[in-house]
Chains A and B, each alone.
Chain A
Amino acid sequence: KQEVTQIPAALSVPEGENLVLNCSFTDSAIYNLQWFRQDPGKGLTSLLLIQSSQREQTSGRLNASLDKSSGRSTLYIAASQPGDSATYLCAGAYYNQGGKLIFGQGTELSVKP
């Protein structure tokens, strides 16, 4: 059974700090991995998508990496801001799942001013 896990469940950091969110997955036959942001009571905003053939993707202050051999992905946020406070979810798409995404539990990030 394919599972996606995120640790920690919650994280609080002071403004300006660089931080890393972790995501692990059980099946290396992953097609791609996507990171999302969710604000309270809202839908999901896609942040970064990493194909299985890629090792990282960058967008502004965000950098996501993918290591299939270890079953891990990280989301690096540079110079964090209070506006970055949200829940961050990672999700994997697998070859044998027809494009469905399997989600981790999310990390609730709070950036204190």
Chain B
Amino acid sequence: GAVVSQHPSWVICKSGTSVKIECRSLDFQATTMFWYRQFPKQSLMLMATSNEGSKATYEQGVEKDKFLINHASLTLSTLTVTSAHPEDSSFYICSARAGRQGISSPLHFGNGTRLTVT
């Protein structure tokens, strides 16, 4: 089946530093990837849609200068949390669609990255 790999699985950083999270589709190409954020005991909230070769589309209320997204190839999207602060501590999950049926294809998720900002 389709596999989405996310790295790192967890990271601890100091306030003010930047952290990069990678999302790779291992056995399929993904022109679109989605980045979600999840707080404890809450559901997933979409942050942005990552489009290969073009700018990401951010959801309302998400700061694009703080959460930099780069989708440089059909198998890799990165999310960089710039100047991280404790309130950015969260679980970040990426996802991508395999198959050529567009929206009809199931969405597959990475295992997530636990970010803790101290």
Contact = CB atoms under 8 A, between A and B. Distances in A.
A80 B45 CA distance: 29
Contacts of A26: none
Interface stretch (B61-69, B71-79, B80-88, B109-117): B109-117
B43 A105 contact: yes
Interface stretch (A14-22, A29-37, A61-69, A71-79): A29-37
Nearest to B6: A43
Contacts, number: 60
A104 B43 CA distance: 7
A46 B32 contact: no
Interface in B33-49: 34, 42-46, 49
Nearest to B91: A41
Interface of B: 4, 6, 32, 34, 42-46, 49, 57, 91, 93, 95, 97, 102-104, 106-112, 114
Interface of A: 31-32, 34, 36, 41-46, 49, 51, 89, 91, 93, 95, 98-106
